[in-house]
Amino acid sequence: MLKNSVLHKNNTRGGANHGWLIARHSFSFANYYNPDKMHFGALRVLNDDIIAAAKGFGMHPHNNMEIITIPLAGELEHKDSMGNTAVIKKGDIQILSAGSGIKHSEYNKSKDSEVQLLQIWVMPNCINITPSYDQISLNVADRYNNLQLIVSPNKTDEGVFIRQNAWFYLADFDTNFTQNYTLKSKGNGVYVFNLKGQLKVNDTLLDSRDGYGVWDVAEINLTAQSRTEFLMMEVPMAGF
């Protein structure tokens, strides 16, 4: 493993079981605190949640954070203080720019099936802006042996717009498929969260739900050791 890297194994994550919510935390969150796992550059939160049928989070506030929600299974109903109401499912990507302050709720739309989702918080490059909301639907098939862009600081790109110099990708690689990724911005790092299968990032092997961050590099290599699905996040490292 490279010196300028960090490996977070699945079984080292924080977690909580509230009955209606089973949560795993890659970084310190709520009642889970680990001084060695506060953030990875601008990446502040990476939560891996399962919400029981007909349950969810009531209205609660956020400010000055970019909040990305990625459903993995089921349907999640979103409502917020800006008047937005939406249901998101696998293939959809949602972002809230909380800015000067926003309230929202998140509920499992189904009465008999759980919802699985990732929720990610990124520290923004500007504060106290007017809050905003965006949601897109992408073709899941387009991430087969491909890095599908889902979050970008460029409004002309396919992904949702983020107020940070960050790019997120979802991928579904077949066994032995390999691809190099060149970082888009100097001073950024890359954090890979492996959803399932086995993935080698440079020389480090990731099993399901392992996370691996690397910085001070211009390029990384991604090689699937089995059929694998993963999330890759390029974020700024300095100043956080």
According to the model, what pLDDT value does residue 215 have?
A: 97
Q: Does pTM surpass 0.85? A: yes
Q: pLDDT tens across 46-105, in order?
A: 999 999 999 999 999 999 999 999 999 999 999 999 999 999 999 999 999 999 999 999
Q: pLDDT tens across 150-167, in order?
A: 999 999 999 999 999 999
* % pLDDT > 90, the chain: 98
* % pLDDT > 70, the chain: 100
Whether the per-residue pLDDT at 239 is higher than 90: the answer is no
Distance, in Å, from the CA atom of 164 to the CA atom of 189, rounded to the nearest integer, reads 13
Q: Is 141 helix (H, G, I), strand (E, B) or coil?
A: helix
Distance, in Å, from the CA atom of 214 to the CA atom of 40, rounded to the nearest integer, reads 9
According to the model, what pLDDT value does residue 41 have?
A: 98
CATH fit for domain 5-236, picks 3.40.140.10, 2.60.120.10, 2.60.40.290, 3.30.390.30: 2.60.120.10
Average pLDDT, the chain: 96
> What are the residue boundaries of the structural domains of the chain, listed by start?
5-236
According to the model, what pLDDT value does residue 175 have?
A: 98
According to the model, what pLDDT value does residue 210 have?
A: 98
Whether the per-residue pLDDT at 140 is higher than 80: the answer is yes
* Residue 3 confidence class, pLDDT cut points 50, 70, 90: confident
Q: For the chain, how far is it from start to end, CA to CA, in angstroms? A: 23
Whether the per-residue pLDDT at 188 is higher than 80: the answer is yes
* Residue 9 confidence class, pLDDT cut points 50, 70, 90: very high
Task: Over range 11-36, report the average pLDDT.
Answer: 96
Q: CA-CA distances (angstroms) from residue 19 to 12, 89, 114, 117, 132?
A: 21, 22, 12, 16, 32
Distance, in Å, from the CA atom of 185 to the CA atom of 165, rounded to the nearest integer, reads 8
Cβ atoms of 90 and 97 within 8 Å: the answer is no
According to the model, what pLDDT value does residue 235 have?
A: 98
